[in-house]
Amino acid sequence: MYCYIPEPSEPTDTIPPVLSTRFQPEATSFAQMTTIGVGGRAAEVIETDSEADFIAAISAADKAGKPLLVIGGGSNILAADSEFSGVVVRYTKSDITTLEEDSCGGARMRVAAGTPWDEVVVYAISHGWMGMEALSGIPGSAGAAPVQNIGAYGQEVAGVIAAVRTYDRETAAQRTLFLSDLELGYRNSLLKKSMTEGKWGPSPRWIVLSVDFHLRRATLSAPIRYRQLAAELQVEEGERVPAAQVRAAVLKLRRQKGMVLSADDRDTYSLGSFFTNPVLREEEAQKLPPEAPRYPLREEAAVNQIGGEAPIIPGWQKTSAAWLIAHAGYQAGYALPGPAAISTKHSLALTNRGGATAAQIMQLAEEIRAGVRNKYGVELVPEPVLVGFNH
């Protein structure tokens, strides 16, 4: 079979990325390092754009027995108000390299862990590669993407990851983890699971150095699989449209929900969705009210071709955390005038209205969890990494 192998393509359009972090220069506290803007001081903060220095800082912290927190954009970390006694390491190397591009095998790119995530999406779209367009506007860095298996609007990063190059803190050596190694699930991975294993938290055993992505060459998007996005695009679910149009629609929807960072919008001083959508056995899902949303649970890591549809996992369903929260009495804007309150735009985001403490954010989260538990018997699971809290 003959495959045409073109020269690496140049970007077809100039697409600006959106803000991915609020990390302040020479930051010393989590209030200066996270998108929600709360949290206490860190005993030591190291920032570097050198991979060798990044690994050296991690190794030194581990040898000294100090708690280690590797931070990217700070968009998924809620740190307590007390001082973090360990070392915070931030890797800022931003680099995207096209590894290969052909009409049969698709395109592969290698992305340094410190690269802002939205720049990765822009790179893919502007080069005519599909599979990331619905992940537009998500704050944070590329290194965090496989840890959380980030997803939005019917896409998950599991569908385009080929391999993750890591520093293994157990062996003090570099190790490449392939898609089959990563155990990617709904907002979960082998990396994330290791955070709760003995000495590793609050960072994983395997620290991401770079990520390889494998995408199909196509200017049209992957099939639209999210009802709200299809409605915004005025197409039927399953149709494909130009990827740039999907990006524009996703950014519009995210801005309407306060999910694109903006210095002028207090609703964006959050950690995005604070709770994951509950995954329930079918018999548990049937106990919810008939009007409660129910979605199939898909195994994204089982996709065996670029752009293929993930198979449904039988016996399981997802429901909407936002729906449960709102119908348990915690509507958008709950707890205003603040300083910690639910976003005025979306019931799934907990926000710092100005001057909030981490304790106040956590108190609001626990109130919501208790309310949903009491009304629906469902235990909401926080999505952010919790640092310095007993949980």
Residues marked active site are found at: 187, 273, 383
Written as six digits, the tokens of 71 are 């931070």
Instruction: Determine which helix (DSSP H) or strand (DSSP E) holds 95, and give its type and residue range.
Output: none
In one-letter notation, the amino acid at residue 254 is R
Between CA 106 and CA 126 the distance in angstroms is 15
Contacts of 118 (CB under 8 A, 6+ apart): 17, 18, 20, 136, 137, 138, 139
End-to-end CA distance of the chain: 55
CB 193 within 8 A of CB 283: no
| 20 and 117 Cβ atoms separated by less than 8 Å | yes
Tell me the C-alpha distance between 101 and 11, whole Å. 13
Give whole-number Cα distances, 80 to 3, 76, 270, 353, in Å: 54, 13, 15, 17
Pairing of strands 312-318, 350-352: unpaired
How far apart are alpha carbons 90 and 49 in whole angstroms? Answer: 8
Both tokens assigned to 121: 């999406």
Between the CA of residue 106 and those of 170, 180, 282, 323, what are the distances in Å? 35, 19, 37, 38
Dihedral pair phi/psi, residue 139, rounded to 5°: -75, 170
Q: Residue 354 burial by CB count (10 A; 0-12/13-18/19+): exposed, middle or buried?
A: exposed
H or E, element range at 283: helix 282-285
Is residue 339 packed enough to be buried (19+ CB in 10 Å), middle (13-18) or exposed (0-12)?
A: middle
